[in-house]
Structure 1
Amino acid sequence: MRPYLVFLLLSMMTITVFSQELNKDQLLQLSFDSLDRIENEVEYGTMYSKKVFDAHILKAKYAKDTGQLAEAYRKRVWGEDFASAIKYVDSAIGISTGVHEKRFPSKVHYTKGGLLYEADRPDDAVREFVTAYEFAKKANDYEQIIDCFNAIAIIKGEYGHQERAISLLRLSLDYLNKYEGKIDNYDLTKLITLDNIARCYLQIKKIDSSRHYAQQGLDLSSQMKDLDTYRSLSALYAQINYYDGNYIKSRDTLLKYVKGTGDLSQADRLFYLGMIEGEIGNSAKKRRYFKRIDSLLDRNGYPLMDNVKEIFQFLIKDAISKDEEPMVKNYADRLVYYDSILTRAEKEIRSILWTEFDLPEQEASKKVLSDEIQKKEGTIRNYILLSVLLISLLALYFIKYSRTQKKLREVMDQDVEPLKSHPKKDDIAQMNIDPELVQSTLEALDKWETNLGYLDQKTSQNSLASDLNTNTTYLSKIINTYKGQTFSNYIKDLRVTYAINHLKENPQIIDTHSTIQIAEMFGFSSLDVFARAIKSKIGVTPAVYFRKLKKSNL
């Protein structure tokens, strides 16, 4: 773990020494730490960035430093096309057995998994995340183990197999409970896992289990003062109430939280509001809600979402009953489109589903999962068959599907700001710390923020306390009181705020980097944490934000 003092010195050196591009000989004279600093700041995909990475590779070869060479190959993927990136990451993997850093093999396979996922090869991505898990387990890197579990669960759940996703998420909770003291971002990691598992259980209609984990997530998000996640989980709890038949209570909560969210989250909540109105006999309101969903989906290029076929089947029947022929054709096109998506996805699901992930903890549940999966596949096939039958009955109204994508609205009108806090006198007094020590620590913390120290992935509460010449207890109290957040949330907020504003000013980064590479640039080691941080801060996923930046840059 690189000390903060070295990081600060490198930041200062960057201002004086690295203000201009260096030639090959100058780069080779730098230390590995200095090269690392430049690599973290250089614009990827440029001739100069490639020169820097190549100098790192050459210097490592001269020094016969296998660890540095492997890390240089791993970083060389940044700004490269997929084929070149895979060659470099495979080169890093090829020599990783000679690297003394025990965590590196897991890190490099996790990187490859992210590249494959970005290239729409989810089955291969799962295999790499499994390999990353195996290396992380050998290194006793518990946080990386949970990151791998979450990455695999996300892919499994994304392709419709929530049972296997749940199995992995339950393992994540087991590891969190067992190794709490060894996981830096414990609260945030647990909150993410609780949110994921509650949603997976809801999707397979296991309401009691979904309620159990949603309530735990609500309690933890309240304790962490994570208002965005609390609102999201409150909306999820309202959906649980719908399945329990508590329609009015569910409706009141959903109406409270339906606004101020991303388009897809809003569409999901509008679906349940529409279903509630249908249950209480108000078909006209149900139709209005479902039409709003169609508008939201249109604005986002018609992505796949839960319950989408049920929405358009209702709209088709409603339009037929009103002799609205143009609308019947439009909604039928939507249904055909989503049928084709599900049909194509079924092949990918089958491949992902049977990717081996043999853990002793899972062996006992394999047969049960297999039976449930086969049953679910049969249900999907029957559902598709019924949909095709419905479409054939409406053949006179169908026309070939022609989809156009509208420009997305701008995400923000102005730069986002880090969270602010104004401590009360009583809170300051309760810290019981010398005011001069508090003031000096805050000044050092401000200087650290100005120098972008939080972008270093290796930053932890222990290392920062040491660099600021204080202890973790004092640092935790000061951050909680003056920043209004826990340490992990404070670091996450600084990183995501800087990422959002920096990408807005430099949208070309999006064209030359995958999401995992962008996450690493801003200090995130987990795709899931980065995505949730973006979603929590501005209400949209990274993919939606990136598309908006590209459109606004045209």
Structure 2
Amino acid sequence: MTLYLFEYTMQIKKQQKFLMTNKSSIFLILFLVLQFPVFSQQKGFYLPDSLKEKSYDYLNNKIDLYEEDTVRALFYLDSYLSKAKLENNLNEAVNAYSNAIFFVSDSLKPVYADSIVAAAMMTNDAPVIGSAYISKGNFYYSIKDYVQALNFYLKASDYISNSNDNYLKYELKYHIAGIKIHLGFNDEALVLLKECVDFFKKYDEYDYQRGYLNSLHSLGLVYNRLGKYDLSTETNEFALKEAKRLNVELTQNYIVHSEGINQYFKKNYSKAIQNIQQALPAIIRNNDFANETVGYFYIGKCYWDQGQQEKALPYFKKVDRVFSEKKYIRPDLRENYELLVGYYKEKGDVKNQLYYINRLMKADSVLNTNFKYMSGKIHKEYDTKALRQAKQEIEKQLAGKEKTTLLLYFSLAVFFFLTLYFFYRYYSNQKLYRQKFEELMGAEKEKPKAIVVEKEDEEKKGLDINPDVVALILKELEKFENRKKFLEKDLTLVNLASAFNTNSNYLSKVINHYRNKNYNTYLNDLRIDYIVELLKSQSRYRNYTIKALADESGFSTPQHFSKAFFASTGIYPSYFLNELNKEQI
């Protein structure tokens, strides 16, 4: 298929260069977008009379219907764009170019992504702008630049969140769920996807049906990531049934692919291989190198786990080929290189072992760049230091300087001392926590003594506040503590000062001087002292969750409560509860 965008590529590049040096060229960007030719195989396309009266929804449905028949899809896309130009409808022109991005060459897709947003900005229509940012995010997601994809999804949210377009809100929610799955935040993705399924299934329009099926497919994937394999199978079977009912063949293949991976985790290796191989041709035709790679990896894993290493190797090498070409890697695919390194190490093939160690280090470099927040969660057989040591050892071995025994003893020694260190830290912490617990149990809560403020003392203390004002603030603090007003949520220094009929500066100075702590520590300590006494004196509170205890003591989140509890007592609330319950037994 030939698209008549190619002849305009050089012209576009020249205009882009001009735009970069001219900050006032947003209008030229819009002109650039609207001067693109139509996308059919014939130049100078004219909207057929038979389609002039057809609605945009009709044309859009035709584009979706023939998405796998590019020639027919482009005919309706041409018609859609021509109709928008004839009617001078900028909003629908933006929609046309959003569709067009799926048909143009990869080199032009970034141009389209930028141009869609530029044109949308000219409409001054928040949902249209939000939709354009979603399209741009989708482009970056398709090339696996998840950081950029998330940036543009968040920009879309700025425009969509206050609009009345519920479809766009849930479309964005679906894409955010996809990012969360990629980052490993599967529990959060699960909540979003359930909401998406419930929303999209209510409507019969094509876009809603695709949203419904895509959400179901992702839901099955999340259940797999959470280790709920039977629930994943149940969801996939239902999704496949729905995809067949709605006659969406491509989605059927993705569901079969997903269930194949799930079957691997259920150790049904033959079924896993069958499913993945059945789905791969459609996925390859869809130019989805990411799911193609994942399919190769799990076919290889199926053979590997059955002891058929020689059958597994070609699939693992296909994963490496895609990584070389596309730089695509994700945490579970990292094992691909660990297995290859181990295989060639066992065979004594140090040349290949060194090659795949280098590839593993390259994969780690990409993962560490894109998954810094996940670095503590990714299980690694080789950390960076060990990889470097292994690499140096093999290079020396290839040069005739073998030091295998020394490296082995060194690794064992490091492992031994690290084990001792962690055991020492664990038991030291347990001893310290027990000591803190006993101190808490033995401590009696002391009420702050009433303080009489003398003028001379006040002047010596350098508070630079009228002693009468200080006395008034101290009196208010005493009432505040006795009446347990500190249990109220969202107590800021400013609103507490307002309640005391003083200013925040005076209140802060008085608390710092007479309570020997800043406002936040003062407030947190009051709340923690209260909840500690409550837990010591009333056993029913020991059955509360951390969240419920946080709420009871005035904290807005369990995390804030746990952090404040540790800062005040030196132990975590979960430890304190466990020890209390042990003593009760």
Question: What TM-score, normalized by structure 2, do the two folds share?
Answer: 0.44
Question: What TM-score, normalized by structure 1, do the two folds share?
Answer: 0.46
Larger radius of gyration: 2
